[in-house]
């Protein structure tokens, strides 16, 4: 008999976040589209430089944010759904009370 517990290998490709160029892919694509709109629609050298600089700075900022938390937009969006104050409840099915201005928290 084997005395140690059974182990199951979990491959990193199953739990690794999907990143594009080291940042969240949705945000990279949005910033790339905005930079392309600046470059293509205005068709001037100044706006081309602005678009390229915007692309580089936004990509660097997104990569830095993804290094600390690869799913920071999902975490932020979930955070915004929470209320600022939850009133005390006597049971799970009781009515929600409203919070009035000037009420102490």
For 62-86, write each residue's pLDDT tens digit: 999 999 999 999 999 998 988 887 7
Flag whether 88 is in a domain.
Answer: no
pTM, two decimal places: 0.68
Flag whether 7 is in a domain.
Answer: no
Flag whether 58 is in a domain.
Answer: yes
Flag whether 71 is in a domain.
Answer: yes
- Distant-in-sequence, close-in-space partners of 54: CB < 8 Å, separation ≥ 6: 31, 34, 35, 38
For 29-53, write each residue's pLDDT tens digit: 999 999 999 999 888 999 999 999 9
Split into its structural domains, the chain has a count of 1
Domain range enclosing 30? 20-80
């Amino acid at each position: 008999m084997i005395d140690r517990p059974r182990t199951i290998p979990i491959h990193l490709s199953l739990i690794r976040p999907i990143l594009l160029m080291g940042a969240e892919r949705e945000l990279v694509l949005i910033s790339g589209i905005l930079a392309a709109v600046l470059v293509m629609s205005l068709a001037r050298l100044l706006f081309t430089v602005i678009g390229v600089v915007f692309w580089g700075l936004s990509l660097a900022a997104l990569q830095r944010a993804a290094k600390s938390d690869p799913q920071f937009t999902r975490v932020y969006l979930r955070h915004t759904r929470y209320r600022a104050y939850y009133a005390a409840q006597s049971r799970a099915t009781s009515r929600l009370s409203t919070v009035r201005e000037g009420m102490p928290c």
